[in-house]
Amino acid sequence: MKAHYFDYAASTPADPRVAQAMAACLTLDGNFGNPASRSHRYGWQAEQAVENARRQLADLLKADPREIVWTSGATESNNLALKGVVEALRDAGETGPLHIITSAIEHKAVLDPCKWLAQHQGVEVTYLTPDADGLITPQQVADALRPETCLVSLMAVNNELGTLTDVAAIGALLSKHRAVFHVDAAQAIGKIPVDVKAWQVDLLSVSAHKFYGPKGIGALFVKREPQVKLAAQIHGGGHERGMRSGTLATHQLVGLGEAARLVAEEGAADEARIRGLRDQLWAGLQALGDVYLNGHATQRTANHLNVSFGGVDGEILLASLAKVAVSSGSACNSATVAPSFVLKAIGRSDALAHAGIRFSLGRFTTSDEVEAVIAEVARVVAMLRG
């Protein structure tokens, strides 16, 4: 029997329209050429397709297409943003102390580069602690700012909780400071409106497979006015205006562009429908008793529902939910048996952090599926509670 898929925050299936657009870029009778081949029609057509995708993503983000730098996904975008800012400052001759502000509940794709910069570049990092609702406030950022702060990196939507950071308020705060503002928007696109101008961000990371596009492709928004200076992390040909070398994957970029177009046209309707399904799921789970919502009740996306179940062993609970595809936190940490560091950061006990389950819904979730999942979770929880 096929499991009910409730792990859209880990990865979304490609929309069939995205897959169709990608398939047309793979074979001899399609648009398979190298976008960097400037001497024949195959290359020109591929370049045109890549640039069309660049515009589609830029339109979704309210950006200039020249501000979109292609990457392999949000992890690479985050590394390029964080390491690129610090190394560009060092290359420009800045020898004094540098300071970064981030939070204790960022994705590992931000926390690990921060750790690397502290160890190898001598950068001091401040990790802001969320409140009990999983929120980082603009006031916390203001209190942590120093003259030597060169970068603030905060996610728009937390990947485990779905909680929303007030990035617009933080962007307004940082507009008066020299610090570059980087936002990891991997979980935001397709779930909330993203506007780089309104948010006043300098750098913003994108991952296609979080909004019904293909895996292995993403982008980094890099503000042009004033131009954010970044040191490239991948060298070999000077592609993407010298910021990211490598042959562009036409089919993946066409898929990302089509996924962005669909979000622009259908995202609001998706959000309203999914919110109703999420609330239906929460009502059913809440009725089981001794169930706790993790994260702010309203300041979160429609797609996420992170709950802890009292009176059960978390590992046994997750293993017993074989008919439901869910996670105990970030997909990047699914191999560890330690309790979620995000749930620990918001004050959950070890037992409740271990028993935390992230349900995430999406474009293809149905009401019947929600009812089936409620029934299955109720059966498993009742069995484990004896």
- Catalytic residues, by residue number, are 332
Residue 322 — φ and ψ, nearest 5°?
A: -65, -25
> DSSP labels for 242-290?
GTS-S---HHHHHHHHHHHHHHHHHHHHHHHHHHHHHHHHHHHHHTTSS
User: Using CA atoms, how far apart are residues 330 and 311, in angstroms rounded to an integer?
Assistant: 23
Report the candidate in 213, 196, 207 with the shortest Cα–Cα distance to residue 66.
196
DSSP state of 217: -
User: Using CA atoms, how far apart are residues 258 and 60, in angstroms rounded to an integer?
Assistant: 11
- The Cα-based distances of 339 to 90, 317, 344 in angstroms read 38, 13, 7
3-state secondary structure of 105: coil
Q: 376 and 321 in contact (C-beta within 8 Å)?
A: yes
In sequence order, which residues have a C-beta less than 8 Å from that of residue 119 and are 6 or more positions away? none
Q: 102 and 94 in contact (C-beta within 8 Å)?
A: no
What length does the chain have? 386
Beta carbons within 10 angstroms of residue 299's beta carbon: 15
Report the candidate in 309, 305, 354 with the shortest Cα–Cα distance to residue 328.
354
Beta carbons within 10 angstroms of residue 347's beta carbon: 14
Q: Is 225 exposed, middle or buried (0-12, 13-18, 19+ CB in 10 A)?
A: exposed
Query: Encoding tokens for residue 108?
Result: 């590992």
Cα pseudo-dihedral 182, 72, 227, 239, rounded to 10: 170
3-state secondary structure of 288: coil
Q: Is 287 exposed, middle or buried (0-12, 13-18, 19+ CB in 10 A)?
A: exposed
User: Using CA atoms, how far apart are residues 271 and 6, in angstroms rounded to an integer?
Assistant: 16
